[in-house]
Structure 1
């Protein structure tokens, strides 16, 4: 059904009435449905005032119901914190009859907010619109009790805005989409070879020069097609403050990524002294207009260290540590640093000798270690891609495991927290089907079912090691996603599957009930339609979602198994 009125057939069944992610327990009630009307009071207990504001601004706008703070009518929706519930856990209680009260309780404010997301889903897809489409219609909620709490603390989405810039309004929209799916970490990939996206006031050329490129390859790097026009954009510091505050209101942590020492050609193009000037004419470099991994990396000099310390000083001010649970984290990249220039550089060789290092690999570890210590001294936590494990890390550093499960296993066994995001399973730029209509096919085929069957905790870890798995995230790299519609297509509906994997306590693969997930997705597609999400339909891409003649890079064979 698409009106949100279907009910589970037995107490304890986890699917509920089409709810995604699946709640832990859905107990149908005997008292019928709870009605909402213009006189329904929204009563916010201490600590839930922010959730009440969100409900009035979203559900209130969609339904046309004002949700007054007080009134004489019998109907009430009550928000409250119940300390007996776990962090982020919630309970919806709608078993008091047609007039309510309907209670949304949480172990903390975040739990109340996630409960409000389920409340919105129970109202049906029209509750996800921005204005009423059927003025005067009756609104009601199914009776019963929903009890829920997340499996993982870190439930994330990494969005690359360096390859293709997403304007601020698009970022705010994605924060809303994350909240609707109970995702709570936004990994904000702000810099790369192809663009620098955040204003740094002490280094103005990062936005004057490094934030745009003259042209863009259309398709994979083997494609002969080019879009012969400038591409760029950046967020002002006030834009960033707005994004962080908007996310915090939705209990989402924003983790910024500033990539070092590789993936840095845009920065070197703006400030040539950051590059390996003794082996390449860095004054001739421009922001890279191609895809892949640039050979132009940062020079391991004191000049570079002081420059990026200045960058990170401004980043720490823009992304305060107390904004949300994971706000202390700062991502420094650390991946895919080509060392050819260091191998040829007399300055790099001298640095290796002065530091008593063995080779260029240890030089990269020294570079990462410098910022590990620098951030830790300021009460922050470094996180980077799994290459940063090479050479050792400070105790507080965490790892994003992207090259499979191996990095996550090594990090957990070494006592480091880890976020599991292996490219073979949760890189949403990878194609969704093997057919010729799939637009710009990249990587392995990762279907909706494949993502749903992903298990974030690597096999073979002890219980103590497994506790270092903070959670999981999907990664969206945007080389072949030229606009918001393409991002939507690649992200959805697979991001809904990842959200359930991250939130719900599902059976281990292959016992997961994908058929039940598909049944609930039949309801959820209506919500995505109401939100204007240009998702990939189950039957395949719509004609305008295809990219005929634009080459991709499909990989041969199935992805490796863990």
Structure 2
């Protein structure tokens, strides 16, 4: 039986009699609303098969038929294959795309290679697959601020997300160490803020530095291309412009945004910079214009404002900031941070969008419609849901893909606690202890891939896969129909050969390969107890 090798695991899959052989007479039939899906499927099947696979609107003989069936529901699909062809019905275009991905997985793994293969028989086995996702938000955060990922690699990552039925790409575009999106009205954000003169190697204060510049940014045309390509794959891109902390790159470009007004450089070390934004009205106006350009590039509902890890020392020690706090009736610096985020959030909401921020935004008042990304464990998810806010769960100890993958001594630059394949597979975005109404506030979850120590596309592959395969199945299936041993059999027996065919340099089951290690670079490993103590301190302000 071929169909159980599909990943993520379908709701139901069974064999059916016969098979359908792809040949030169095979056509793809689709109505106009599914033309994009049909052309994508044609482009996916053509290279390895060498077949023309013309796209038509009129069915004529056995072939591949794509059609809409709205009663199936959002992103749901039904695939049936047999001697008369393949029929994929989707509740919406996204569902049809998921069905097309399943069709590819019913074929031999070499279907993913990009050159013609003449010694393969391209037959789709008889099968009936009925499927739908458990969670609405199935995502991954990609940090392109610490180490820039060229556009071609972002596009490749989007294709890998679609293969695994992930539907949300959260792009972390700005931080202390770099600004990665072109803002036409503020050219120095990328001209100055888009590169740094050197980079830290490792995780400790005494670590070495790589004495060469690092940088890069996406032009607005690049962003439009990324967003459009993602949409063709059923993926929404959520941008993040981090304020008022994690902003040293912006302050380096425009010193008047800082508290002191003094020049600083783009941060060359990892960690959190003390150089935060000031809270003048002119700074709010500056970022209103920035967010206007960002919202023009990203048409999705959600706009990330960060709101996390904002040091307060500069504000606390600055007479002008204390004066502004008094004028605004703000009790302390935490209230000032909440004021800043609320001002930006109100502007975003006025444009018909919804604010998406890290769970620190719970430390102040939130605008209606805000969505909280719970990263410091699940405390933020519980608190937000009980307060009536929507939640995306991304707890660090379960789905932070920059964390070390095992206790293996050769894991490159080991960070925090191990997040193993089994840990990732056990991820449940809905925390215990919520009522049914509160649990419904959990939109889903995402994995987060921070890139302080992920400095090349090859290392993106190593840190992301196969753990992202596990997260994808956890979010697609939900908690009720998972079996790790069965997943592992599918992963190693059938799915990794697909990734091999694509060229994904995932982490091997036995551990890192020699060229994936980083000898001599010290990480910052922690025990579970140490991590728990650290997070308990950090979330004290939002506990209910």
Matching residue of 2:281: 302
Matching residue of 1:103: 87
Deviations 1:521-542 (A, max 9, x none): 0211001111111100111111
**Aligned-residue offset at 1:395:** 1.4
Matching residue of 1:3: none
**Aligned-residue offset at 1:136:** 5.5
Deviations 1:256-294 (A, max 9, x none): 0000000000100110000012xxx622x1000000010
Deviations 1:150-174 (A, max 9, x none): 0011000100000000010011010
From 20, 28, 32, give the equivalent of 1:34.
20
Deviates more, 1:490-499 or 1:512-521: 512-521
TM-score, structure 1 normalization: 0.92
Matching residue of 1:416: 389
From 94, 99, 115, give the equivalent of 1:115.
99
The reply to whether residue 89 of structure 1 matches residue 76 of structure 2 is yes
Aligned equivalents of 1:341, 1:213: Cα separation in 2: 23
Aligned equivalents of 1:124, 1:416: Cα separation in 2: 44
Aligned equivalents of 1:170, 1:210: Cα separation in 2: 21
Aligned equivalents of 2:427, 2:524: Cα separation in 1: 23
Matching residue of 2:294: 315
Aligned equivalents of 1:433, 1:105: Cα separation in 2: 41
Matching residue of 1:256: 239
Aligned equivalents of 1:360, 1:557: Cα separation in 2: 31
2:162, 2:233 within 8 Å by CA — same for their partners in 1? yes
Matching residue of 1:65: 51
**Aligned-residue offset at 1:434:** 0.5
From 505, 516, 519, give the equivalent of 1:548.
519
Matching residue of 2:225: 242
Deviations 1:224-259 (A, max 9, x none): 211100000001110011111111111100000000
What 5-or-longer segments of structure 2 have no aligned partner?
537-544
Matching residue of 1:526: 497
Aligned equivalents of 1:69, 1:482: Cα separation in 2: 41
Matching residue of 2:40: 54
Aligned equivalents of 1:223, 1:507: Cα separation in 2: 47
Matching residue of 1:269: 252
Change in Cα spacing, 1:557 to 1:316, as seen in structure 2 (3 Å) is closer
Matching residue of 2:439: 466
The reply to whether residue 124 of structure 1 matches residue 75 of structure 2 is no
**Aligned-residue offset at 1:114:** 0.5
1:216, 1:227 within 8 Å by CA — same for their partners in 2? yes
Deviations 1:430-452 (A, max 9, x none): 00010211111011111101110
**Aligned-residue offset at 1:72:** 10
Aligned equivalents of 1:275, 1:139: Cα separation in 2: 61
Matching residue of 1:499: 472
Matching residue of 1:323: none
Larger fraction in helix: 2
**Aligned-residue offset at 1:79:** 0.3
1:92, 1:103 within 8 Å by CA — same for their partners in 2? yes
The reply to whether residue 340 of structure 1 matches residue 283 of structure 2 is no
Aligned equivalents of 1:287, 1:505: Cα separation in 2: 42
Matching residue of 2:199: 216
Matching residue of 2:127: 144
What 5-or-longer segments of structure 1 have no aligned partner?
1-5, 8-15, 321-326
Change in Cα spacing, 1:264 to 1:139, as seen in structure 2 (3 Å) is same
**Aligned-residue offset at 1:384:** 0.3
Aligned equivalents of 2:55, 2:359: Cα separation in 1: 49
2:390, 2:441 within 8 Å by CA — same for their partners in 1? yes
From 245, 252, 266, give the equivalent of 1:287.
266
Matching residue of 2:158: 175
State the secondary structure of the residue aligned to 2:229. helix
State the secondary structure of the residue aligned to 2:237. strand
**Aligned-residue offset at 1:84:** 2.0
Aligned equivalents of 1:87, 1:369: Cα separation in 2: 32
Kindly report the root-mean-square deviation, in angstroms, between the aligned alpha carbons of the 2 structures: 1.6
Counting only pairs closer than 5 Å after superposition, residues 1-40 of structure 1 correspond to structure 2 as 6-7=1-2, 16-29=3-16, 31-40=17-26
Deviations 1:536-560 (A, max 9, x none): 0111111111111111110123564
State the secondary structure of the residue aligned to 1:282. coil
Aligned equivalents of 1:41, 1:170: Cα separation in 2: 31
TM-score, structure 2 normalization: 0.95
From 358, 372, 375, give the equivalent of 2:348.
375
State the secondary structure of the residue aligned to 1:143. strand
Deviates more, 1:220-229 or 1:68-77: 68-77
The reply to whether residue 517 of structure 1 matches residue 487 of structure 2 is yes
**Aligned-residue offset at 1:46:** 4.0
**Aligned-residue offset at 1:505:** 3.5
1:83, 1:108 within 8 Å by CA — same for their partners in 2? yes
State the secondary structure of the residue aligned to 1:521. helix
Aligned equivalents of 2:418, 2:185: Cα separation in 1: 44
Matching residue of 1:225: 208
**Aligned-residue offset at 1:347:** 1.1
Matching residue of 1:11: none
Matching residue of 2:188: 205
2:141, 2:449 within 8 Å by CA — same for their partners in 1? yes
